[in-house]
Structure 1
Amino acid sequence: MKKIILLITLLFIAANSFAQDNNTIKGTVMNDADDKLLENVNIVNLNQVKGTTTNEKGEFAIKAAVNDTLFFSYLGFKSIRVRVTNDWLKFGDIKVKMTELGIALEEVVIRPVQLTGYVEIDAKLIPIYDNYRYRISGLNSGYEGGSNQPGAVSKVLSSIFNPADFLYNVFGKRPRQMKKLRKMKDDDEIRNLLQSKFDRETLMAVLQLERADIDEILNKCSYSKDFIRTANDLQILDAISGCYEEYKVLNRDK
């Protein structure tokens, strides 16, 4: 009889834990200054790597468990992190208030290209960016050439002679963060969010990296300074993910 009671208790605990991991929590996002409802606020569960956005009423719903951290970001507002608590799950909707940022724009001087009308001369005046991504047959690793990437050849040679060790220096010390890459790529909401962002903020929050760390990874994976500076966050995600997949293949065969 005691064994039956113990078994039922264990099953109840397991079922309760499973239910907690699959709760859909709801809330409303507002402007802290005037309680105005905020539409299209981006919300990412940093633990489960799931994303969503608020509707026209500022409402959202997302899968989360107790102690998961939700990351809220919205253009012109300070990003915040909110921890999911038992009270949130118990009482339902919660109001999340975001603070608007004061952005001081610096003076920008636009210097247009002065064309002469002569093709031979104008062709030399117009700047040309020639950063191309190259791949070598039989080698997964690639490199990006161009005037801003003078070390491309040496990086490629390093990856040819010792590719697994070369990439281990980039990813070997970050196994937990890198495991989230595939989850980010598989979530349509997060991909849509990253496609319109250039600040690396969401990538930094999910991967637990600093901006300098992301730049270092891309640099060691032979991406040019132009790409690192101008690519949107989705392109950055795909670049890091592609390089990480190469590392896993090479490390497996090592």
Structure 2
Amino acid sequence: MKKIAFILFTIITSTILSQNNQKIISGHIYLDSIPVQDVHIINKKLDIGTVSNENGKFEILASKNDILIISHLNIEFKEQAITDKNISTKKINIFLDSKNYMLDEVVLERKKGIFEIDKDILPHNGPIVNAKTLKLPYANSKKPDKDNTVEIESGLSFSVVGLINALNGKTKQKKLLRKLKAEDKNIKKIRQYFTDGFFVQQLKIKRESINPFIEHCISKGIMNLFYKEKLLELTSVLIDNSKNSPYLIEKENTRVTQK
């Protein structure tokens, strides 16, 4: 009895499909040639639907001129018509476009500091807040005299006393520090290039006096020769300056012998 019912159901279904020319269409959903999963496909005429799998594949019942509605959260909504070719091949490939989201215009305002006071919420009869009421250490300090202040055309002003102190103090210290760093860098370059053996064995300079000797030779312009790669001239200058140098090993020995 069950077999007879199944045969009747198959015959009736086949008859309905043949009358409406409906077929099961196998298709794929692509986004930039990449299969897309979880895309909803709905036959608008038959009001039936399905969802694509991890390979972008789906199957749906359709006939010629049926409209398939394709939708996904991140993909542009699309309608696809079923053609004669889709019916004859029972296949369809649908290519989609990614969805673009338009954001509302955003106006960036100036950042407020933590000490900035909103005038709209400031009480009119509230307490006065300043250096004196807060008892800060500089509350009673006086402004510098106008005579000791210099103004330039740009509108910037500075204290003459402060300027002199800066020139005599920190500014000179910074310049001296930069000079010492530059000299130290130059000494390292010369010492690395010639090695200590050259100064001790060839020039007979005491090892502990190599740096003072190089510093003396830098004043003779050896760095200019070094950067221009005039190494023969540089070597000649070092040899000439080592002949009567107070840093020679022989001179140290001579002093010891005289004593």
Q: Per the shorter chain, which TM-score range?
A: 0.3 to 0.5
**Structure with bigger RCO (C-alpha 8 Å, 6+ apart):** 1
**TM-score between the two structures when normalised by the length of structure 2:** 0.33
- Name the larger-Rg structure: 2
TM-score (norm 1): 0.34
